[in-house]
Amino acid sequence: MLELKHIPTNLITGLLGVGKTSAILDLLQSRSEKAPWAVLVNEFGDIPIDQAIFSGKDDAGVFVREVPGGCLCCSVGVPLQIAVVQLVRQAKPERLLIELSGMGHPGMVLDMLRHGHLANALDLKATLCLVDPRDVEDTDILDSQIFQDQVHLSDVLVINKTDLSGPDLTAECQDWAKTLFPAKGLVAVTQHGRLDASWLDLDTNPLKTPLFPEFHDHERETHSHTPDDPPDATLSPGKPYRKENRGLNRHTCGWIFSSEDVFDRNRLMGLLSEHDTIERLKGVFQLSGEWVLFNRVREVLTAQAVGYRRDSRVEIISRKPIDWIAYETQLIHCLKK
Ligand SMILES: Nc1nc2c(ncn2[C@@H]2O[C@H](COP(=O)(O)OP(=O)(O)OP(=O)(O)O)[C@@H](O)[C@H]2O)c(=O)[nH]1
Ligand SMILES: [Mg+2]
């Protein structure tokens, strides 16, 4: 099917907001400049945001493709295979990195990469799972099937966000990692997703199977997989496109605004900090004279300048229902008059 052979490929997993994209961006920086790399990113929500985060990278021999709307395991089979084939044909990459949604179960994707049509074209290397030491204190997370299988199916466990957890919690997390069976090929400690590129070449254990192989079958019924593309143009100022979704016990909503819409920074930061049930929020907004990426993981909201310039867009994942229509009205109130 593919004339390309044996492209070293890694799956990057970990819960929502743990630092997967940060890690990939860091790896892209560290690669030799001319080496083309391909990145396939899956997002839980329907509004693609990561293309904005990776914007500008295409010029530097980095090819990014997104599979939004659900978890990658749902796209397993034809759509995912098509995305991978198109990406590697276009990029002829020296490496392929696949970022799995924080809500995505890695089992089916690994199965597809190991045994599907792509198996001959890809050289599957270590699967990396990022964890936040604070999550290992949380029994709900420790008990969750998705977390357990993300950890179990990984070859390299990367303890990230250690600047936020502090040394004691980091040490506790390392102790927990030592109890994992079978033992990980490597347990690394880092922050801001700084990885050593040599970890990508570590071997994967091809025989590991999920602890919860049925996980996805149960959830499939509740999650709507509607990959309809949002409209590219024709949005009127002040009248955003909205897409809601629900599944895996989460409520998501995303918006795309007209490229003419400009937001007030202070009002926007106030709104984006509200609602303590929000687990993850990602958005790029046009402010006066600048474009800014807002990232919220639980209650922590950060803002940084981005090179992306197209339209303002945001995606929110909440543990509890939010009145999205009222939220939209509040977003519109954040527009500059
Ligand atoms: N303080 C701190 N912030 C971090 C660290 N790693 C990542 N972040 C921040 O956490 C936020 C989420 O990081 P991402 O890399 O987008 O996380 P992700 O796992 O790709 O998120 P999803 O794809 O939405 O699941 C961003 O604001 C990052 O800058 C870290 O080690 N320390
Ligand atoms: Mg990400």
Mean pLDDT check: name the lowest of 4-13, 79-88, 263-272, 304-313: 79-88
List Cα–Cα distances, 54 to 227, 285, 291, in angstroms. Answer: 21, 15, 14
Average pLDDT over residues 62-90: 75
How much is the pLDDT for 221?
Answer: 40
Using pLDDT thresholds of 50, 70 and 90, give the confidence band for residue 83. Answer: confident
Average pLDDT over residues 229-238: 74
Distance 44 CA to ligand 2 centre (A): 10
How much is the pLDDT for 225?
Answer: 44
Instruction: Report the DSSP pairing between strands 7-14 and 128-131.
Output: parallel
Q: In terms of Cα–Cα distance, which of 37, 39, 44 is closest to 17?
A: 44
Share of the chain above pLDDT 90, in %: 65
Q: How far is CA 128 from the centre of its chain?
A: 13
Total residue count of the chain as it appears in this document: 337
pLDDT above 70: residue 4: no
Average pLDDT over residues 298-312: 94
How many Å from the N-terminal Cα to the C-terminal Cα in the chain?
Answer: 54
- Domains of the chain, residue spans: 7-220, 241-333
Q: Is the CB of 7 under 6 A from ligand 1?
A: no
Q: Around 183, how many Cα atoms within 13 Å sit in the side-chain half-sphere? A: 7
Q: What is the dihedral of CA 147, 149, 152, 157, to 10 degrees?
A: -40
pLDDT above 50: residue 102: yes
Distance 50 CA to ligand 2 centre (A): 7
Average pLDDT over residues 87-103: 91
Ligand 1 atom having least distance to the Cα of 300: 27
List Cα–Cα distances, 53 to 135, 315, 330, in angstroms. Answer: 25, 13, 24
Using pLDDT thresholds of 50, 70 and 90, give the confidence band for residue 226. Answer: very low
Q: Is 69 exposed, middle or buried (0-12, 13-18, 19+ CB in 10 A)?
A: buried
Superfamily (CATH) of domain 241-333? CobW-like, C-terminal domain (3.30.1220.10)
Mean pLDDT check: name the lowest of 36-40, 78-82, 184-188: 78-82
How much is the pLDDT for 238?
Answer: 96
- Per-residue pLDDT reduced to its tens digit, 271-290: 999 999 999 999 999 999 99
Q: Is the CB of 133 under 6 A from ligand 1?
A: no
Average pLDDT, the chain: 88
Q: Which fold has domain 7-220?
A: Rossmann fold (3.40.50)
- Per-residue pLDDT reduced to its tens digit, 159-199: 999 999 999 999 999 999 999 999 999 999 999 999 999 99
- Per-residue pLDDT reduced to its tens digit, 114-148: 887 788 889 999 999 999 999 999 999 999 999 99
Q: What's 133's DSSP letter?
A: G
pLDDT above 60: residue 224: no
Q: Is the CB of 16 under 6 A from ligand 1?
A: yes
Q: Is the CB of 250 under 6 A from ligand 1?
A: no
